[in-house]
């Protein structure tokens, strides 16, 4: 399944981990929700072998693809935003290694990035992939007035507050049900290109909106579980974020500092 040692394998099987992403590179600060490459690389190296192909259908500025190349895997991405796809291409051109994992004997790897709607994966000629890791928009939370990260980004002036104004962008969908339907349509398309017994990892968390919690992670676990088998979860914790006194002296409102890394697997004989 992978190239890890027994010690590395067992360490990854721990059901929770703490990871505090390092400061972002200047060129990708514009993106409001960038993936940490070093975290993604750990998943890629567990769920694939060198030379296999990794897909991210919501590639953003290319973090998953760069992590795949650094691991000696081929990378395929789909990104709706022309702006972020352009940034991703620049980063990928600069990051593509001549000798993956520092091994001169390793086969060269390649990357492909499609500027397209992820719901059109079937028409992109991607072919079969060995693993998919991705993180969806957390609904339309980036468009909420007062969202925790928005003030800092607004003050910076040159940083995007949300992904785009594109009507196809699920981060702009106000209706939770339609948002879930859109995500699941993408993951069904992903399932079609996954090879049998390959894994899909979705990194997501539940969201709070209007005084109510929407169990996005759990809803995706159930919905995607209708066509891919939910195998397990890892809980990604962050312990370096500032605490805020939400609901103090009035109601229980947690400081949410964890994400769910949901791991699904395609059956040997997948039925659509």
pLDDT at 155 over 60: no
pLDDT for res 29: 46
Cα 78 from Cα 190, distance rounded (Å): 11
Q: Sketch the domain layout of the chain as residue ranges.
A: 14-243+250-265
Per-residue confidence at 171, pLDDT binned at 50, 70, 90?
Answer: confident
pLDDT digits (tens, 9 = 90+) for 236-272: 999 998 999 988 999 988 999 999 999 999 998 755 5
Rounded to two decimals, the pTM is: 0.86
Q: Tell me the average pLDDT of the chain.
A: 85
Rg (CA), the chain: 18
E-assigned strands of the chain?
16-18, 53-56, 74-78, 111-114, 129-134, 194-204, 207-209, 212-214, 229-237, 258-265
Cα 28 from Cα 30, distance rounded (Å): 5
Cα 149 from Cα 158, distance rounded (Å): 14
More confident position, 22 or 196: 196
Task: Name the CATH topology of 14-243+250-265.
Answer: Rossmann fold (3.40.50)
Range from 4-13, 64-73, 154-163, 224-233 carrying the lowest mean pLDDT: 154-163
Question: Count of H helices and E strands in the chain?
Answer: 7, 10
CA distances to 179, 183, 191 from 171, rounded to whole Å, are 8, 10, 22
Please give the average per-residue pLDDT across 151-165, as a whole number.
Answer: 53
pLDDT digits (tens, 9 = 90+) for 92-137: 998 865 444 445 556 678 999 999 999 999 999 999 999 999 999 8
pLDDT at 64 over 90: yes
**172: which 2 tokens?**
């702009």
């Amino acid at each position: 399944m992978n190239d890890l040692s027994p010690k590395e394998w067992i360490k990854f099987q721990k059901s929770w981990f703490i990871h505090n992403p390092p400061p972002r590179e200047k060129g990708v600060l514009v993106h409001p929700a960038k993936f940490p490459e070093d975290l993604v690389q750990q998943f890629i190296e567990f769920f694939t072998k060198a030379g296999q192909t990794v897909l991210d259908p919501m590639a953003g500025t290319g973090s998953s693809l760069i992590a795949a190349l650094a691991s000696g895997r081929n990378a395929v991405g789909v990104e709706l935003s022309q702006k972020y796809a352009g940034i991703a291409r620049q980063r990928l051109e600069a990051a593509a290694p001549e000798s993956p994992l520092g091994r001169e004997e390793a086969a060269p790897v390649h990357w492909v990035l499609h500027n397209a709607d992820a719901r059109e994966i079937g028409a992109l000629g991607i072919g079969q992939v060995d693993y998919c890791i991705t993180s969806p928009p957390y609904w339309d939370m980036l468009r909420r007035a007062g969202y925790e990260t928005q003030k800092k980004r607004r003050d910076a002036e040159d940083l995007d507050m949300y992904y785009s104004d594109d009507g196809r962008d699920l981060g702009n969908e106000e209706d939770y049900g339609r948002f879930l339907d859109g995500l699941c349509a993408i993951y069904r398309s992903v399932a079609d290109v996954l090879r049998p017994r390959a894994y899909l990892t979705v990194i997501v968390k539940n969201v709070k909106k209007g005084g109510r919690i929407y169990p996005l992670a759990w809803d995706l676990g159930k919905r995607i579980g209708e066509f891919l088998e939910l195998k397990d979860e890892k809980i990604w914790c962050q312990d370096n974020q500032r605490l805020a006194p939400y609901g103090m002296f009035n109601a229980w409102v947690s400081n949410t500092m964890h994400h769910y890394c949901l791991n699904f697997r395609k059956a040997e004989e997948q039925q659509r």
